[in-house]
Amino acid sequence: MAKTKKVKIEDATVSIVENDYICLTDMIQNLEGGNSIIENWLRNKNTIEFIGIWEQLNNPDFNSLEFEGIKNEAGLNRFYLSTKKWIKQTNAIGMIAKAGRYGGTYAHKDIAFEFGGWISPKFKLLLIREFQRLKEIESNQYNLEWNVKRILTKTNYQIHTDAIKNHIIPKKNYSKNKEWLVYAEEADLLNVALFNCTAKDWREANLEHSKKGLNIRDFASINELVVLSNLENINSLLITQKLDKTKRFEELKQISSNQLNMLDNNDYIKSVKKLSDSTYVDLKNKKE
């Protein structure tokens, strides 16, 4: 299992691997009883029913007949179930028993969250929160990379100072007249903060581009896309702080201006200019 990430839950450092499998062994690393906690959890009839239903919903090769036999035995004094036994008898995929130095018992996030609740409600909630935070970070990084690649591959696209010019930015004083804020969606909050234009106003001023499915962000420079990604993160934070739209817009407008000026003045990205559909060259280095 590759691409291991780690999150801190109270005193435990918990590994999360590809396909959202979380290490149960890490979750109980500092608890008295060690691996017996996982075994006791697996003996519980409610646990058997939960992981069995999960498999039926997600695993077409799950052996439901064996599952029924195990469920019927659960609760008896002689009943014992290990992760390996569960996987072998039912062909389960929701849990993994990994050997070796970095081994342990791993479970899909749905099952791991359930196990977290067995440890304590607080542990479960902290695990969910940290997992979601990790996913938000991954999503933001992916969206930024995707946006940059999308722009760089556009036909006849030129970066920054030589970017496409043949579109119109409506001349409206959005900062002075803030009536648009009442009904504005979050995307337009960012659009006006960065581009000084709502998506609707831009479409109305650029009907030909709009008919082709293009929007204001398709004409952004790489620097603007970098700032846009930052604004998305900052706006999420401001929302959690319960700032109203007017205050958030003012904050975003100021941050947008500062960050864009900084990137423009550093002149890192705009030294790259497109020569053809497949060739880029650093003009600054070429002159030297």
Summarised one tens digit per residue, pLDDT across range 200-233 is 888 888 888 888 888 888 777 777 878 888 888 8
Closest CA to 127 of 215, 62, 119: 119
Q: What span, in angstroms and rounded, lies between the C-alpha atoms of 113 and 103?
A: 20
Are the C-beta atoms of 158 and 276 separated by less than 8 Å?
A: no
Mean pLDDT, to the nearest integer, of 44-49? 92
pLDDT, tens only, 103-141: 889 999 999 999 999 999 999 999 998 888 888 777 665
pLDDT confidence of residue 226: 80
pLDDT confidence of residue 288: 36
More confident residue, 174 or 275: 174
pLDDT confidence of residue 3: 72
Q: What span, in angstroms and rounded, lies between the C-alpha atoms of 115 and 7?
A: 16
pLDDT confidence of residue 159: 37
The pLDDT confidence band at residue 177, using thresholds 50, 70 and 90, is low
Closest CA to 27 of 135, 134, 109: 109
Three-state DSSP at 111 gives helix
Domain ranges in the chain? Answer: 5-128, 154-287
